Amino acid sequence: MSDLVELYQELVLDHNNRPRNKRAMEDASSTADGYNPLCGDQVSVFLKVEDGVIADVSFQGVGCAISQSSASMMTQNVKGKTVEEAEALFEVFHGMVTRDPGAEVDSESLGELEALAGVCAFPNRIKCASLAWHTMAASLNGKQQEQVTTE
C-alpha cells in the first residue's frame, strides 16, 4: 500500500513539474476561469468541442501542486472523450475526492486520477483538486468567461 501511495505522490509531482497541455488556445470554442479563494489557486480551461467530442483541451493557471497537477491530469483524461463522457468522469472524480476516507473508489473509471484519492481526508484540499474539473464543466456548459469559484 505504501508503494502505491508513493507512486501516486510521484505522479502528482510529475504533473506539477511537467504539466501536460498547459498553454493558451487561440481557437477554443469555450473557456472558463476558476478560482479557489481558500488556497489562491487559479485555473483557466480552454476547450475545443467538435461534433460533441472534446477535440482539444488545455489549461493555464497558478497555484498549489495539487491544483495544477489535477488540471494537468484532467486535460489528459477528457481529451478525445465526448461531452457526456467528460461530464460523467467529472461526477466520478468529484465522488472520489468528496467521499468518506476509506470508502471504495471506482478505480476502473478513474485510472491514474486515483492518484488524488487521498485528498478526501483533507477538506481544504478537496477544492484544490476539483477546481479544474469544476472549471472544465462550466466551460462545457457554455458559461464562457464565467468566474467559477469552488465556494
User: Using CB under 5 A as the criterion, which residues of the chain lie in contact with Zn ion when the complex forms?
Assistant: 39, 41, 64, 67, 128
Q: Which is nearer to Zn ion, 77 or 150 (CB)?
A: 150
Retrieve residue 115's grid coordinates: 492518484
Residue 53 bridge partners (DSSP) = 50, 82
C-alpha torsion sign, points 99, 103, 109, 115: positive
Q: Which is nearer to Zn ion, 41 or 114 (CB)?
A: 41
Question: In angstroms, what is the minimal distance from the CB of 97 to Zn ion?
Answer: 12
Question: In angstroms, what is the minimal distance from the CB of 111 to Zn ion?
Answer: 22
- What is the phi/psi pair of residue 33, to 5°? -115, 130
Helix (H) or strand (E) holding 60: strand 53-62
Question: In angstroms, what is the minimal distance from the CB of 118 to Zn ion?
Answer: 14
Q: Which is nearer to Zn ion, 86 or 128 (CB)?
A: 128
